[in-house]
């Protein structure tokens, strides 16, 4: 089979070009992130029970929901939080790889079953079920020059005018405003007056719910009206209340003697924040914080560019005195880490090429690995795309380590072919054919051995397994493609480029060869003495191994 490619170099070149084109096309669509997407997907259920304490919320809201949601398909565990402000949240964590959209639907179905057991006030407030992304790609801030606007105004403005526009951008999973909250009508009840008037918070809540609603008033002039009425009118009436004065006029009941008890008689009413549990400040100044969450599988660099471009467009429409800023951009770390990896990648490639040139001392021989290395590495990108991987620190690190593996396969083909050509007995094609007859088995064997090292670690479960999977399969893919190139492209290139040369050695090469020969002689002497004193050699080996084991156990380690 190898002889087929040696005799048909164009076919081998076309095969290599197909691999390169596939890799380059895939590179344009590969998601880019700092680390692989290894965090388990989560779904959050939120509800509010106004006026209830934490224990009441846990018993009346949390317990029914958790009983129904528990055991949903793919669930790993769930955690809930009930606060004294009446807020309840349940976070369900699913196994890595679970379809988050389907998980959200399943949780919503379970929550719907539990609604019949929940207090009416909770149902009226609404129960929210949404997928939760923990991957914040950016944090924006809205601030006011000279404190012209407070944090409540800024947060409310961001919720009404910015979140929808940002959420529509490609790659954005969700947008969350963190700050003083939205404008809401705050009704501060006077407990002493309520006791005297014999009122309860539920009675007040019912009165507000009844009188603060949007209703349809009907029509005037609809059939069957008088025949001579040529017009039909749709009646519009004032719906929901909007000012503290209007809320203050809500009728609670009619007292004896016809006196009307209104809401303003028992409460202080003001326009304020929906919640005072969270505040946001930037450099000591009130602000609104906007969190941009990345959609799984998207390109964080493209998300960052899109958000920045959109905010530049929106900046001209912001109220006078309001400014926006980027307080956090994780893509800066990603860019820095990727740049460092790429620099290391280029340095490694240059070092490998230099070593090849130094040892083979033949410019034609250097060209062959320089052409075959990119084929294997770029082709690996196509495999990464097929496996659903992203361009991240781990996969790039795997590609760096794969350079040594990739170049080794090319070097042994070039070196063995050069060895036969230097005898002067063979033409280039004959020398390559002779060399490959000895190398087919070893090349395939090396590939299989390396696969036996890397493939088993991909079956490790959990988050660590996901990390090993992308790292190891990247190296495995590069190894397989390197083996294919060593049996197809590299022999064909050797037959085309290698020539017998009798040119005098460059002075640098002569000096290098002398040093190398002396080093080799010293090495041979050391090995010879070690073989003569095997017990001493074994003791030294055990000491070195024990020292390495102790250092490994004591060396500090981190997750990544």
* 491/342 same-domain check: yes
- Do both 105 and 19 map to the same domain? no
pLDDT tens digits, 37-77: 777 888 989 998 887 888 999 999 999 999 999 999 989 99
Same domain for 29 and 54, yes or no, is no
Q: Is residue 298 part of a domain?
A: no
Q: Spell out, as residue ranges, where the chain has pLDDT lower than 70.
A: 133-134, 180, 224-229, 297, 501-505, 558-560
Residue 477 lies in a domain: yes
Give pLDDT tens digits for 376-402.
Answer: 889 999 999 998 888 887 888 888 888
Same domain for 424 and 536: no
Overall domain count for the chain = 4
Cis (ω within 30 of 0) for the bond into 224?
A: yes
The separation between the first and the last C-alpha atoms of the chain, rounded to the nearest angstrom, is 44
Show the DSSP H helices in 127-237 as ranges.
151-161, 163-167, 191-197, 201-211
pLDDT number for residue 558: 66
Q: Which domain holds residue 222?
A: 185-273
**pLDDT at site 24:** 92
Residue 504: the pLDDT is: 61
Residue length of the chain: 560
Nearest-angstrom CA–CA distance, 439 and 491: 11
Considering the domain architecture, whether residues 92 and 78 belong to the same structural domain is answered as yes
428 shares a domain with 359: yes
**Whether residue 408 sits in one domain with residue 262:** no
Residues 115, 98 within the same domain = yes
Half-sphere exposure for 480 (CA within 13 Å, toward CB): 15
Q: What is the pLDDT of residue 140?
A: 92
Upper half-sphere CA count for residue 85 (Cβ side, 13 Å): 10
Which of 56, 40, 47, 53 is closest to 111 using CA atoms? 47
The pTM of the whole model exceeds 0.85: no
Domain boundary, last residue among 460, 477, 502: 502
Strands 136-144 and 285-294: antiparallel
Residue-level pLDDT at 263: 92
Looking at the fold, whether 44 and 25 belong to one and the same domain comes out as no
Is residue 305, in this structure, part of any structural domain at all? Answer: no
Task: Report the pLDDT value the prediction gives residue 449, as an integer from 0 to 100.
Answer: 92
Q: Reduce the secondary structure of 208-236 to three states and give it as a string.
A: HHHHCCCCCCCEECCCCCCCCCCCCEECC
Residue that finishes a domain, picked among 502, 526, 546: 502
Q: What is the CA radius of gyration of the chain?
A: 36
Distance CA 201, CA 484 (A): 77
Q: Please check whether residues 368 and 492 belong to one and the same domain.
A: yes
């Amino acid at each position: 089979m190898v002889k087929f490619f040696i005799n048909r170099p164009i076919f081998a070149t076309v095969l290599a070009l197909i691999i390169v084109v596939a890799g380059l096309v895939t590179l344009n669509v590969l998601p880019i992130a700092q680390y692989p997407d290894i965090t388990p997907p989560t779904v959050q259920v939120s509800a509010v029970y106004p006026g209830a304490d934490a224990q009441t919320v846990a018993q009346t809201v949390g317990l029914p929901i958790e009983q129904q949601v528990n055991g949903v398909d793919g669930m790993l565990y769930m955690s809930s939080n009930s606060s004294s402000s009446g807020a309840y949240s349940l976070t369900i964590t699913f196994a890595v790889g679970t379809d988050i959209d389907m998980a959200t639907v399943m949780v919503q179905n379970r929550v719907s079953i539990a609604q019949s057991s929940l207090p009416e006030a909770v149902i009226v407030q609404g129960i929210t079920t949404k997928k939760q992304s923990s991957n914040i790609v950016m944090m924006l801030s809205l601030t006011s020059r000279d404190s012209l606007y407070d944090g409540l105004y800024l947060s409310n403005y961001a919720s009404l005018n910015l979140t929808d526009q940002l959420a529509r951008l490609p790659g954005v999973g969700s947008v969350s405003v963190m700050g003083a909250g939205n404008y809401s009508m705050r009704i501060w009840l006077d407990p002493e007056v309520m006791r005297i008037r014999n009122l309860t918070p539920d009675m007040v809540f019912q009165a507000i719910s009844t009188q603060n609603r949007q209703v349809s008033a009907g029509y005037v002039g609809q059939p069957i009206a008088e025949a001579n009425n040529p017009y039909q009118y749709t009646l519009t009436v004032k719906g929901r209340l909007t000012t503290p004065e209007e809320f203050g006029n809500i009728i609670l009941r009619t007292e004896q003697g016809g006196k009307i008890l209104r809401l303003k008689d028992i409460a202080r009413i003001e326009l304020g924040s929906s919640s005072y549990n969270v505040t946001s400040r930037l450099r000591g100044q009130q602000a609104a914080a906007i969190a941009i969450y990345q959609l799984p599988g998207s390109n964080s660099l493209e998300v960052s560019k899109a958000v920045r471009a959109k905010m530049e467009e929106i900046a001209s429409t912001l109220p006078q005195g309001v400014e926006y800023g980027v307080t956090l951009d994780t893509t800066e770390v990603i860019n820095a880490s990727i740049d460092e990896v790429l620099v290391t990648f280029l340095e490694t490639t240059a070092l490998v090429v230099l070593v090849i040139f130094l040892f083979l001392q033949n410019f034609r021989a250097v060209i062959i690995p320089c052409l075959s290395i990119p084929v294997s590495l770029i082709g690996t990108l196509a495999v990464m795309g097929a496996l659903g991987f992203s361009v991240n620190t781990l996969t790039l690190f795997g590609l760096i380590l794969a350079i040594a593996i990739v170049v080794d396969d090319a070097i042994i083909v070039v070196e063995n072919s050069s060895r036969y050509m230097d005898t002067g007995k063979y033409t280039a094609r004959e020398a390559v054919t002779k060399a490959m007859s000895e190398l087919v088995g070893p090349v395939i064997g090396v590939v299989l051995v390396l696969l036996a090292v890397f493939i088993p670690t991909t079956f490790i479960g959990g988050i660590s397994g996901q990390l090993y999977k992308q790292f190891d399969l990247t190296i495995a893919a590069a190894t397989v493609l390197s083996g294919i190139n060593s049996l197809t492209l590299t022999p064909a290139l050797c037959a085309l480029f290698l020539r017998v040369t009798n040119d005098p050695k460059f002075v640098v090469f002569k000096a290098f060869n002398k040093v190398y020969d002396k080093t080799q002689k010293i090495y041979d002497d050391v090995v010879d003495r070690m073989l003569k004193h095997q017990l001493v050699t074994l003791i030294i080996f055990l000491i070195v191994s024990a020292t390495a084991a102790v250092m490994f156990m004591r060396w500090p380690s981190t997750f990544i």
